[in-house]
Copies of this chain bind each other. A is one copy, B any other.
Amino acid sequence: MAQPRRMGVEGSKMRSRFVDAAEEILRDVGYMGISARQVSAKAGQKTQLLYYYFRTMDDLILAVVRRVNENRMTRFEEALASPDPLRTLWEINSDASGATLSAELTSIANHREAIRAEIVRSAQQFRALQIEAVSRLLSQAKKDYPAAGIVMIAAALARTIVTESALGLTEGHEAALKIVERVLRDIAGAEPEPPRSA
């Protein structure tokens, strides 16, 4: 269980260059592409150097998971501060690159025991935060849609549309988007209570 091998430090520039490369591959190729050889090639480095910075490939992927989660949290908070938070949240969930990444991470969670917990934890946290925020927004708009159900359906729909579109499968997408648009308009239509200036 000890790690007798020498290891690079957490903050190093080279280290994050490997994480960059891994994230890029995950976005463009999917998790099938994340191998020690391919990641280090993309980073322009020797494969063995990767193992100076990461004990195993799982460790590298974990670093990617953590970074992806941080970025997602930042965008989430920005969305809440936007003029139409509900629509912005929908747009975040529908972002092609982000949704693809999410889908790949789910796939990874399915196949790599060691990473599952972290991925599930961060997905759960993100879902819970969205439910909380949407719940607040809906009650401000005096709408009694069930927030948790709406968030769940929106998340599932957004990711599926992005994933399928990437494959060229678009049957039913337009019709579903029309429903989303109708709901968004319905909610925005009711003037929200003016938020008290902080």
Contact = CB atoms under 8 A, between A and B. Distances in A.
Interface of A: 30, 32, 106-107, 109-111, 116, 119-120, 123-124, 127-128, 131, 146-149, 151-153, 155-157, 159-161, 163-164, 166-169, 171-176, 178-179
A110 B166 contact: yes
Contact of A160 (B159, B171, B173): B159
A11 to B, nearest CB: 31
Nearest to A123: B169
B176 A106 contact: no
Among A109, A116, A178: residue with most chain B CB under 10 A = A109
A155 B160 contact: yes
13 contacts: A120-B167, A123-B169, A127-B172, A128-B171, A131-B171, A131-B172, A146-B175, A148-B172, A149-B175, A149-B176, A151-B172, A152-B171, A153-B153
A151 B160 CA distance: 13
A164 B161 CA distance: 17
Give this chain's copy count.
2
A148 B124 CA distance: 30
A110 B153 contact: no
A144 B121 CA distance: 40
Nearest to A160: B156
Given A106-B164, A131-B172, A160-B160, 14 more contacts: A30-B111, A106-B163, A109-B167, A116-B167, A120-B167, A120-B168, A127-B171, A128-B171, A131-B171, A148-B171, A149-B179, A152-B161, A152-B171, A153-B157
